Amino acid sequence: MKHSISTILFYLLMTNPVFANNIEMAYIMRSNGKIYVVVAVIAIIFIGLMAYLYRIDQRVKKLEK
Amino acid sequence: MQLKWWKILGIILVLYSIIAGLLMPVPKLNILNETIRNLYFHVTMWFSMIVLMFSSMKQSLQFLNGFDKIRDLKAETYASTGIFMGLLGLTTGMIWAQFTWGTFWVNDPKLNGTAVTLLIYLAYFILRNSIENEDSKARVSAIYNIIAFVMMIVFIGILPRMTDSLHPGNGGNPAFGNYDLDSNMRMVFYPAVIGWILIGSWIAQLRFRIKLLEINKENI
């Protein structure tokens, strides 16, 4: 019983916005209206497509030999 | 197993244009707002298409000067990749038009000109597939390809400039280089153009190599 009360208190404190504000987060990804997240997504898609193109290139090279 | 330097350069330049294109400051313009950034992605498709079509025309010219079958094959793959880039440019332009000009399609000379251009190049492929004889197919389509390139220049390079158009640079509107492309935008736009030209050429080259493999397989 004693243990469960302390657990509830712990969770209440953790979810309290006053305490949450003190937690350091990666701010770069959250600033400027989170535009960096969009940039990261598009960049990953483009890198993925280029990696795929590279793989096709290598396969064609292998077939040519 | 190394990638050619120009392919790597293409990847780096386009990647740079994606990151810088979305994050760098752009001029604040009415109606356009943030969509001015589309310049780095929509306009580069057209540059890529025009260069690919030019390469295609060049290969056709070289084919007529010696009748080397490889040239004909190269001309075909360049043209098909060019059409692909053109379709991407057309669809992205339609989305941009919907949110700035109000409709997906306006009767702008440049829009109709590109539509005609794409139809001309689609006719090139229909022409190729309709001729049975391999030799005459290559010759007729090479000549048609040269005419098609000239028509493309007329339809998207000359005619829109002679009438009123919504596109910048046409009908007395100032082109890039005036108020709508400042030095910040240039630093992203030109690398993006080069990057997409290189990537378009890479895709065309891959198509050509696969085609060549198919032909060699048939001959064995």
Check if A63 contacts B (Cβ < 8 Å). Answer: yes
- Mean pLDDT of the B67-80 span: 93
For A45, the domain range is 2-64
Would you say residue B131 lies in a domain?
A: yes
Looking at residue B136, which CATH number applies to its domain?
1.20.120
Chain B hits for A33, Cβ within 8 Å: none
Q: Considering only alpha carbons, which residue of chain A is nearest residue B22?
A: A39
Q: What mean pLDDT comes out for the span B179-185?
A: 69
Distance separating alpha carbons of residues B138 and B144, to the nearest angstrom: 10
**Higher-scoring residue by pLDDT: A35, B196:** B196
Judge whether B218 lies within some domain: no
Cβ within 8 Å, pair A43-B213: no
Tens-place pLDDT, residues A48-60:
999 999 999 999 9
pTM here is: 0.81
Contacts of A49 in chain B (CB under 8 A): none
pLDDT at A24 over 70: no
Q: Do A60 and B19 touch (CB under 8 A)?
A: no
Interface predicted TM-score of the whole assembly (ipTM), two decimals: 0.73
> What is the DSSP track for A1-65?
-HHHHHHHHHHHHHH-HHHHTTS----GGGSGGGHHHHHHHHHHHHHHHHHHHHHHHHHHHHHH-
Number of domains in chain B: 1
Tell whether A43 lies on the interface with B, counting CB pairs under 8 A. yes
Range of the domain at B54: 5-22+32-213
Give the pLDDT confidence of B141-163 residue by residue, as tens digits: 999 999 999 999 999 888 877 77
Q: Which of B18, B23, B206 sits opposite A57 (nearest CB)?
A: B206
Helix axes B134-152, B69-100, angle to 10 degrees: 40
Terminal CA-to-CA distance of chain B, rounded, Å? 27
pLDDT at A45 over 80: yes
Closest chain A CA to residue B16: A43
How many structural domains comprise chain A? 1
